[in-house]
Amino acid sequence: MKLQENWLTEGLIDFEYKKYVLLAYLKKVKESFHRVELYPFLSDMVYHYRNLKSIEANKSLLFDAFPKALSNEDIKNLELNYRTIMEDDVVMKEIESIINFAIPQLKVHLEEGSAIYEYVESKCEIEPIGLTSLMLNEGYLFITEPPQTETTVYRYHTTIFGNSTDEYKAINLNYVLKEKRTLGNSYERIKLKLIKQFKDMPNPATFLIQSKLKFPFTPTLIPVAKRILVKRVSQAA
């Protein structure tokens, strides 16, 4: 259950109704956090919190928040309808009340999610496997967690987005295989197997992320591992 992108302005604009919608959503968030499952709720809340803060600071952004009409006639009238709503003091007071209620509610849950994230991150360690390649934009990521002896191997590729002043890196992961680590099948040996099997990367950057504790793999460990890898690659760039 995700909060709809335009939940603030979709449907009935009524404080009690929107309060019910938000609290039902946050109940799901809390249940997820109690299971130490961070995603997709954490990133979803970040989006909505920033969006509400932006609207709070600049009410003209409400125009973008209203659901876009589907018919040509409604598209023509969208700006007129928006102006009518902006001039309706009752509706605007409802929207302001919803925003004033929602922002602190989201902030509390974001702080809880961030605390869990930091705890998970503190239990993870990253180290290179073999010689470090000078080309860090793509390579392999090994992830292990107790008590498993299997290592999950992903191929990673970095993507840069943003503008000339603010650039950000994101990591895309593609599952490759699982390997059981033994005395005769070390991380270095697994890396050599990958080099032989996938010849398009003869000298791949390869990193291992080890978790000291077992966490939900897909909703928690994977996104935290991706962020750790982004930091490592960015620092070395």
The span from the CA of 141 to the CA of 171, in Å, is 11
Looking at residue 164, its pLDDT comes to: 46
Q: Please, what sign has the CA dihedral across residues 215, 217, 223, 229?
A: positive
Task: Provide, for the chain, the percentages of residues in helix, strand and coil under a 3-state DSSP scheme, each rounded to the nearest 5.
Answer: 50, 20, 30
Determine contact, residues 204/133, Cβ cutoff 8 Å. yes
Residues 6+ apart with CB under 8 A from 153: 140, 141, 142, 175, 176, 177, 178, 179, 190, 194
Per-residue pLDDT of the chain (237 residues; tens, 9 = 90+): 789 888 988 888 899 999 999 999 999 999 999 999 999 999 999 999 998 998 888 776 666 666 554 445 554 555 555 555 555 667 788 888 999 999 999 999 999 999 999 999 999 999 999 887 778 889 999 999 988 889 999 999 988 765 544 556 788 999 999 999 888 899 999 999 999 999 999 989 999 999 999 999 999 999 999 999 999 988 876
The span from the CA of 169 to the CA of 167, in Å, is 7
The span from the CA of 100 to the CA of 92, in Å, is 12
DSSP 60: G
* Terminal Cα distance for the chain, rounded: 38
The span from the CA of 236 to the CA of 127, in Å, is 13
Looking at residue 234, its pLDDT comes to: 85
Chain centroid to CA 162: how far?
16
Looking at residue 167, its pLDDT comes to: 54
The span from the CA of 184 to the CA of 226, in Å, is 28
The span from the CA of 4 to the CA of 32, in Å, is 18
- Which pair of structure tokens corresponds to residue 138? 């793509």
The span from the CA of 213 to the CA of 99, in Å, is 38
Residues 6+ apart with CB under 8 A from 221: 120, 124, 143, 145, 211, 215
- Which pair of structure tokens corresponds to residue 189? 């040996």
DSSP 183: S
Looking at residue 133, its pLDDT comes to: 78
Looking at residue 148, its pLDDT comes to: 82
